[in-house]
């Protein structure tokens, strides 16, 4: 059986990057979590849809965006 799901990502920092710059710090304030994403955040979100437990879930877009606010 095949399923098709996707992750919709917010801003994700590269491995080892910090938020020292003013532009990144301002951008992080737009997220409900108060921070930008990490590769570990994305990896954790990708595990479940790829597992047998999600075998009956298909055609879904899963937001992995830290509660990003557009306004």
DSSP 27-60: HHTTBTTSS-B-HHHHHHHHHTTTSGGGTT--S-
Q: How far, rounded to the nearest angstrom, does the alpha carbon of residue 64 sit from its chain's CA centroid?
A: 3
Q: Structurally, how many domains does the chain consist of?
A: 1
pLDDT tens over the chain, length 71 residues: 688 999 999 989 877 766 666 788 888 888 999 999 999 999 999 999 999 999 999 999 999 999 986 64
Is 71 among the domain residues? no
Write down how long the chain is: 71
Structural domain including 60 reads 6-64
Is 70 among the domain residues? no
Cα 25 to Cα 30: distance, rounded to the nearest angstrom: 9
Is 69 among the domain residues? no
Q: Count CA atoms within 13 Å of residue 23 on its CB side.
A: 2
Is 58 among the domain residues? yes
């Amino acid at each position: 059986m095949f399923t098709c799901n996707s992750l919709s990502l917010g801003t994700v920092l590269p491995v080892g990057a910090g938020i020292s710059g003013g532009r990144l710090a301002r951008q992080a304030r737009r997220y409900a979590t108060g921070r930008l994403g990490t590769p570990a955040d994305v990896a954790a979100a990708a595990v479940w849809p790829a597992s047998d437990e999600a075998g009956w879930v298909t055609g879904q877009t899963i937001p992995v965006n830290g509660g990003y606010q557009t306004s």
